[in-house]
Structure 1
Amino acid sequence: MNYSSHNNLESLLGGPGRIAVLRVLVDAAGPLTGRQVAVEAGLSPAGAMRVLDRLCERGLVVRVRVGRALLHELDRTNELVSRLLLPLFEGERLLAAEAAATHTAHPRAADVNPMIRPHLEAIEQACRRHRVGRAALFGSATQPSHLIVPSDVDVLVTFEPLDPTTKAREYAALAVELERLLAMPVDVMVSTAPRNAIMQAELDRTQVVLYEDA
């Protein structure tokens, strides 16, 4: 395919109107009339048709006549559509979902790994149920990068004042519950447990406190 006339995103996407039409077509379950596209994209029928005409000329949209209606559908076999436009809009959706989760979920969501973010509220609730007064994550679970996939989750806990038997029971129950919740190995470390200088440095560098009761 000759990409000389489609060599940048501005050429492909154009202005807000074209982006709105493309977004509608990407999300559509089937072919749409020009009027349907206009309504979904928030454009006038004439404006939507001008955009659709241009997209058809570029080979990004297929137009077929069914009776008196003209139906439009994204040409997903087109390399520019399959390799550029679809991944672009999918990335937009993922970023929007992540931003929404960050703003509506746990206040420390942005500081932890994306795989762990959806579970922060449940982790905190489990810790509180098992009488943990302070809970923190550390290690790979606190690396906020999609490129890092934690193989386990490290949790640092400080229990409320408990007798040794009760503390041991709550510790064991918490570890089991967290592993079931996260579906991966969980290492629960008690803050009072002895640790070497290397472990202390790791805690100091990566620790993210989920909550700490006064």
Structure 2
Amino acid sequence: MSGRPDMPGCMAVGRPLEDLPDGQLAAVVTYLEMLEPPATEVPESALRLRRVAEPTVNQYRALFRKVGAPWLWFSRLKLKDADLQAIIGDREIHLYEVAAVEAVVGMLELDFRQPGQCELAFVGLVPELSGRGHGRWLLAHAVRLAWREGVKRVHVHTCTLDHPAAVAAYRRAGFVPYKRGIERFTDPRLTGDLPPDSAPQCPLLGTLTVESPDP
């Protein structure tokens, strides 16, 4: 940590910070993988996984927003209906709801489209369940389902806009980091893909750009 008050400890020496224009966000992405199944057991939980065999576009978007809006998930929300349906309708995409009695409180999406591999495409719970051990249960379940016959590699990525404990949770589950990158994009709250009050932990800077429909 630097002793100078004008030089934060996260600043690279000799390289000034790069300003982002209002309305733009940047995230550090960490890529992780595991090359063999872990020996860990799935812990107990009152939650349950329910396979969604034939999700509709509207059903998927509602689930994606409910779980992902607090972390600014938006990639699937920008897809046209036909493009999204082509993904979620693929037999190698396995979608699950996480349920507490009847309420849906999370989602899990496994992508087996690449032969010999499985990507944990989306894994998440609503923020109200944080810190209760449910995340460890969900991730252990996800890993167990991912290692089906023929799979030789399971991988996932997370970024600094996700839950701050995400990387530690993946490592605890048996994943190993192998690459890092930087992603820059327009704030999805300004394009109308997510409500302006999503992710209050990430200040909203900029002006809403969504155009009103023609009368």
TM interval, shorter chain, is: under 0.3
User: Which one has the largest radius of gyration?
Assistant: 1
Higher helix share: 1
Higher strand share: 2
Q: Taking structure 1 as the reference length, what is the TM-score of the superposition?
A: 0.27
